[in-house]
Amino acid sequence: MAIKIILLVVFFGIMLTIGFLTRKNATDVSGFVLGGRSVGPWLTAFAYGTSYFSAVIFVGYAGQFGWKFGISSTWVGIGNALLGSLLAWVVLGRRTRIMTQHLHSATMPDFFARRFGSESLKIVASIVIFIFLIPYTASLYNGLSRLFEMAFGIPYFWCVLVMSVLTAVYVIAGGYMATAINDFIQGLIMLVGIVAVIAAVLGKNGGFLGSLNGLASITDERVSSAPGVFNSFFGPDPLSLLGVVLLTSLGTWGLPQMVGKFYAIKSEGDIHKGTIISTVFAIIVAGGCYFLGGFGRLFSDVIGVAENGNPVGGFDAVIPAMLSGLPDLLIAVVIILVLSASMSTLSSLVLTSSSTVTLDLLKGHVIKDLNEKKQLLIMRSLIVVFIVISAVIAIVQVSSPVAFIAQAMGVSWGAMAGAFLAPFLYGLYWKKTSRAACWINILFSCIFMTVDMLSNLGVLSVNLGLLQSPINAGAFCMIIGLVCVPLISLVTPKPDSRIVENAFSCYEKKVLVRQTSALEDE
């Protein structure tokens, strides 16, 4: 217990110190929200990765999908690395950085307003972000607090309170730069921690080959009658596995807290470096989390299996049960690992939400005269409001029948990624993307995910079949958007040519480069 407490105190002390040391970088709106667009590749890559992977991944998704799919759940981590990190940086990184700077936009809703010439689109997008980030944030507390209860016996309420206060202090003090530097330190902890945990857990079951053999001997007729299905290449349900890969990988392309990292990166060379760093980080952390979760059924005797085949205590109980027998020092490392993952994601979410509401909803619409000093004050105040709302929901949620993490995150990711992915991607690349197509896509995704959520809560009696799962529903919304936005754009009024040409002119500017960077035409 002494080791755990000492490590926690040191960790908290470092986070708070960084927050106060970076106050000088958060004296204006650009510095507070984007770090002055001068953040290097290592900080940006780690900020992207740590915002991506949190307790939702480590406890919720790894536990749930590892139990359902076995070792094939590792494909989710591979998809996160290749689609969610590598391809996202390659496709979005450079063009996002160039166009958002050219349009002077600091948030995704502001990008929509300037790219498509619609203030109302900005307002609606900012409301969507504020509403659907809340269940995601609430789910972070749930996963973290389960591990705290296992390790310390601390009541759930106090876990939520401590995490809320600490995150609020360093984000309010240092803004984006404090978040980025803390993300880097937290990312290093995650890299070391996940490797150590995997080695320890597999060691308890005879190493890697022993664990695979143990998994091959497990059968569950409710899932599949095929022998060895839980250590097979694609698992018992390849189609559902594909839905999880799409939502958790392609979904990052439309999430404002993820795309916002590209706004702040410093230079062209930094984007290339960041691409490599982010991909390697994702392979180790995401691949490791889902790989670890794939062996969850080896601990069925510890977890317990209900009559319906699910683990006793829900899917969120799988990973804590797997870790409960580890040495005290390793459990302390796990606690710091999950705390790092959760606080980094939470800080990114609250900063995104507060800046979006202030700059896109309040400024110029609700409050006409809003100078830089007032904007900073409101953003800092909204960080507190957002954290309080999500913390209250997390405390209420834990005693509700819909208490598992993956469902809350699925609704949040599905709604935002489905609403924003296609408009943002086509907005960067295709001049003919119409305002009407963006409106239809955003409204469809939000309405569909809301219906899906209400039907799962029992408020609406709607049978959506395979799409009843928020995971599948979110993946469906993203695919529909990618297909329908260009089709709708072709049959709706064309965008204003002046707005379009102004936006795309940033890609055609002539710049001088050194002879070493470009060969001279003959």
3-state secondary structure (DSSP) of residue 516: coil
pTM to 2 decimal places: 0.86
Annotate 65-81 with DSSP letters as a single string: HHHHHGGGGHHHHHHII
Lowest mean pLDDT among 233-247, 250-264, 293-307, 329-343: 329-343
- Under the banding of pLDDT at 50, 70 and 90, the label for residue 522 is very low
- Let me know the angle formed at the C-alpha of 416 by 411 and 418, rounded to the nearest 5 degrees: 90
Mean pLDDT is lowest, of 81-85, 119-123, 510-514, for 510-514
162 CB-near residues (< 8 Å, 6+ apart): none
- DSSP per residue over 466-486, as a string? GGGSHHHHHHHHHHHHHHHHH
Q: What is the pLDDT of residue 520?
A: 54
pLDDT at residue number 381? 92
pLDDT in tens, 117-143: 999 999 999 999 988 888 778 777 766
The single-letter DSSP state of residue 448 is H
Assess contact for 106 and 359: CB atoms under 8 A.
yes
C-beta of residue 46 within 8 angstroms of C-beta of residue 261: no
With H, G, I as helix, E, B as strand and everything else as coil, classify residue 513: coil
DSSP for 379-438 reads HHHHHHHHHHHHHHHHHHHTTSS---HHHHHHHHHHHHHHHHHHHHHHHHH-TT--HHHH
pLDDT-based confidence at 516, cuts 50/70/90?
A: low
Over residues 171-180, mean pLDDT = 87
Using the CB atoms, write b or e for 103-139: b if 16+ within 10 Å: bebbbbbbbbbbbbbbeebbbbbbbbbbebbbbbbbb
**Proportion of the chain above pLDDT 90, given as a percent:** 27
In 10 A of CB 56, how many CB atoms? 28
What pLDDT was estimated at residue 88? Answer: 94
> Cβ distance 254 to 421 under 8 Å?
yes
Q: Lowest-pLDDT range, 147-151, 195-199, 299-303, 313-317?
A: 147-151
**What is the distance between the alpha carbons of residues 446 and 311, in angstroms, rounded to a whole number?**
31
Measure the CA–CA gap between 104 and 98, rounded to whole angstroms. 10
Partnered with residue 265 across adjacent β-strands are 39
Residue 269 predicted with pLDDT over 60: yes
54, 173, 250 from 85: Cα distances, Å: 15, 29, 9
- pLDDT tens figures, 85-114: 999 999 999 999 999 989 998 889 999 999
Give the amino acid at 441: N
User: Does the pLDDT value for residue 365 go beyond 80?
Assistant: no
Give residue-wise pLDDT tens across range 196-238: 888 888 888 788 888 888 888 888 777 777 777 888 888 888 8
List all residues 6 or more positions away from 373 whose beta carbon is below 8 Å from its beta carbon: none
**DSSP letter string over 303-340?**
H-B-TTSSBTT-GGGHHHHHHTTS-HHHHHHHHHHHHH
Overall average pLDDT of the 240-269 stretch: 86
Q: How far apart are CA 236 and CA 229, in angstroms?
A: 6
Q: Alpha-carbon distance 57 to 77, whole Å?
A: 10
Biggest CA pair distance of the chain: 76
CATH annotation of 2-507 = 1.20.1730.10
How far apart, in whole angstroms, are the C-alpha atoms of residue 273 and residue 41? Answer: 6
Tens digits of residue pLDDT in 348-363: 888 888 888 888 888 8
Nearest to 230 by CA among 40, 69, 439: 69
